[in-house]
């Protein structure tokens, strides 16, 4: 049996007619970049995320960059974030000349540990940038308290977490701005790249709209230098069609994750691997179903591959140990939980169309893996 890490065919097949119609509409309209289709999608995302506004852009990476630009982040500023995330999170900070100030993660959720944030605040701290890893919100209650107490704005990296809920609040709606990615493999993925910033602050909304078009007040008048990062109408219409199914897909991912948990427990495999943990008050969207294997992660990855099962490590090198961040002066041992997570975690196939037979096979194969002691 073959079990890919993700397979989008089922999703696209069921929506094929609607998707093709939507694409034809854009081609006939000749309005390919921004415009009314993008606006309609922005409104839909804002409503879904329970924010007042949404501003589409070219990538989730640019959403982060634009949000930090809208906060006037500059050289010498520090942004508190996690070293256990996709590269884009810290890159957006560094691109503006600011410093990523890493804080270690909670071992169970893999998210920024709020208990360590205050100790990292300095007179240069300008922004808190939690990342909702794998589709589960960071402990935002604590982060919001720190934000209020120190007057620090929050930018949420919700690239993996559209629709996730923390204490009744949607990912992206809790900070000043929330950043989304529509990379094709995300829970809401386009037919190409796309990103968005959600916010309930009109000043930020207006600034973001200018910043994404080179900072233009009008087409040829620039009071500041922005970037060129616009959302395509083709992506907007594809995403808008898919969005009607987002909740049902995320629910299906949750069900798959519960089924995995049950199978692993029944097989006694919870003694060998650590299952995903959902913190109380959180609704996880299981963008990834991630297990932890203390000693044999890389051999398990290889073994799964040999048995036709896709799996992947997100992320094998924590950001404080990336060569490009040598100048921050970090070394192995600085963020032990992030380092341990990068050595021990593995994402298993978890997508809405994954079948019970495929899940049974994944667990059966893992059950036969020689874990040793």
Ligand X SMILES: Cc1ncc(COP(=O)(O)O)c(C=O)c1O
* H or E stretch covering 320: none
Spacing of C-alpha 80 from chain mean position: 17
Residue 243 found at the interface with ligand X (CB under 6 A): no
The correct pick among 103, 129, 131, 171 for binding ligand X (CB under 6 A) is 131
For ligand X (CB under 6 A), the number of binding residues is 15
Pairwise CA distance, residues 372 & 244, whole Å:
46
CB 127 within 8 A of CB 152: yes
Question: What crossing angle do the helices spanning 356-368 and 297-306 adopt, rounded to 10°?
Answer: 130
Binding mask 174-193 for ligand X (x = CB under 6 A): -------x-x---------x
The correct pick among 136, 147, 160, 342 for binding ligand X (CB under 6 A) is 160
The correct pick among 159, 165, 211, 273 for binding ligand X (CB under 6 A) is 159
The correct pick among 41, 48, 53, 59 for binding ligand X (CB under 6 A) is 59
Strand partners of residue 154: 128
Given the rule CB under 6 A, which of 2-10, 53-61, 215-223, 305-313 is the region that contacts ligand X?
Answer: 53-61
Exposure b/e, 333-356, CB count within 10 A at least 16 = b: ebbebbbbbbbbbbbbbbbbbbee
Residue 282 found at the interface with ligand X (CB under 6 A): no
CB 150 within 8 A of CB 125: yes
Provide the sign of the torsion angle of the four alpha carbons 277, 9, 170, 90, taken in this order: positive
Residue 81 found at the interface with ligand X (CB under 6 A): no
Residue 105 found at the interface with ligand X (CB under 6 A): no
Residue 60 found at the interface with ligand X (CB under 6 A): yes
Residue 85 found at the interface with ligand X (CB under 6 A): yes
Q: Closest distance between ligand X and the C-beta of residue 197, in Å?
A: 12
Residue 61 found at the interface with ligand X (CB under 6 A): yes
Given the rule CB under 6 A, which of 10-18, 93-101, 120-128, 156-164 is the region that contacts ligand X?
Answer: 156-164
CB 258 within 8 A of CB 251: no
Q: Closest distance between ligand X and the C-beta of residue 138, in Å?
A: 11
Pairwise CA distance, residues 364 & 362, whole Å:
5
Spell out where the chain has E strands: 53-57, 78-81, 99-102, 125-129, 155-157, 165-166, 169-170, 177-181, 195-199, 216-218, 221-222, 282-283, 289-292, 345-348
Footprint (CB under 6 A) of ligand X, residues 252-281: none
Given the rule CB under 6 A, which of 29-37, 48-56, 81-89, 244-252 is the region that contacts ligand X?
Answer: 81-89
Q: Residue 175 or residue 195: which is nearer to ligand X going by CB? A: 195
Q: Closest distance between ligand X and the C-beta of residue 314, in Å?
A: 8
Question: What crossing angle do the helices spanning 233-243 and 36-49 adopt, rounded to 10°?
Answer: 40
Given the rule CB under 6 A, which of 155-163, 244-252, 316-324, 358-366 is the region that contacts ligand X?
Answer: 155-163
Pairwise CA distance, residues 162 & 181, whole Å:
9
Instruction: Report the residue number whose CB is nearest to ligand X.
Output: 60
Q: Closest distance between ligand X and the C-beta of residue 219, in Å?
A: 26
DSSP designation for 202: H
Given the rule CB under 6 A, which of 69-77, 152-160, 302-310, 346-354 is the region that contacts ligand X?
Answer: 152-160
Residue 195 found at the interface with ligand X (CB under 6 A): yes
CB 166 within 8 A of CB 281: yes
Q: Which residue has the tokens 């960071």?
A: 138
Q: Closest distance between ligand X and the C-beta of residue 324, in Å?
A: 16
Q: Closest distance between ligand X and the C-beta of residue 162, in Å?
A: 11
Q: Residue 26 or residue 57: which is nearer to ligand X going by CB? A: 57
Residue 229 found at the interface with ligand X (CB under 6 A): no
Q: Closest distance between ligand X and the C-beta of residue 263, in Å?
A: 27
Nearest Cα residue to 205 out of 327, 57, 356? 57
CB proximity list for 31: less than 8 A, separation 6 or greater? 37, 233
**Which residues here bind ligand X, judged by CB under 6 A?**
59-61, 85-86, 88-89, 131, 157, 159-160, 181, 183, 193, 195
């Amino acid at each position: 049996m073959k079990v890919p890490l993700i397979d989008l065919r089922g999703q696209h097949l069921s929506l094929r007619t609607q998707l093709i119609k939507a694409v034809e509409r854009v081609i006939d309209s000749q309005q390919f970049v921004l415009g009314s289709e993008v606006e309609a999608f922005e409104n839909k995302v804002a409503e879904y995320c329970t924010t007042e506004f949404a501003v589409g852009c070219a990538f989730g990476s640019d959403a982060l960059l634009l949000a930090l630009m809208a906060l006037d982040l500059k050289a010498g500023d520090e942004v508190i974030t996690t070293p256990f995330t996709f590269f884009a999170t810290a890159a957006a900070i560094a691109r503006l000349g600011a410093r990523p100030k890493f804080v270690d993660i909670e071992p169970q959720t893999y998210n920024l540990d709020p208990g360590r944030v205050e100790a990292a605040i300095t007179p240069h701290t300008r922004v808190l940038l939690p990342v909702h890893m794998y589709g589960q919100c960071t402990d935002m209650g604590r982060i919001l308290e720190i934000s209020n107490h120190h007057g620090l704005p929050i930018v949420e990296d919700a690239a993996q977490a559209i629709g996730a809920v923390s204490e009744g609040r949607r990912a992206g709606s809790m900070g000043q701005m929330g950043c989304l990615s529509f990379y094709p493999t995300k829970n809401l993925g386009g037919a190409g790249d796309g990103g968005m910033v959600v916010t309930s602050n009109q000043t930020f909304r207006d600034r973001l709209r200018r910043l994404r078009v080179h900072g233009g007040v009008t087409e040829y008048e620039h009071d500041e230098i922005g970037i060129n990062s616009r959302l395509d109408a083709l992506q907007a219409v594809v995403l808008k069609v898919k969005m009607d199914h987002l909740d049902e897909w995320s629910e299906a991912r949750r069900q798959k994750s519960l089924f995995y948990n049950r199978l692993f427990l029944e097989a006694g495999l919870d003694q060998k691997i650590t299952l995903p943990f959902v913190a109380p008050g959180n609704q996880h969207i299981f963008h990834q179903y991630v297990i932890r294997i203390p000693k044999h992660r890389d051999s398990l990855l290889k073994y799964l591959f040999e048995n036709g099962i896709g799996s992947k490590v997100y992320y094998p090198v924590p950001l404080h140990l990336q060569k490009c961040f040598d100048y921050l002066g970090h070394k192995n041992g600085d963020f032990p939980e992030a380092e341990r997570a990068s050595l021990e975690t593995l994402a298993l196939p978890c997508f809405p169309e994954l079948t019970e037979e495929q899940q049974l096979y994944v667990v059966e194969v893992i059950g036969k893996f020689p874990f040793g002691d």
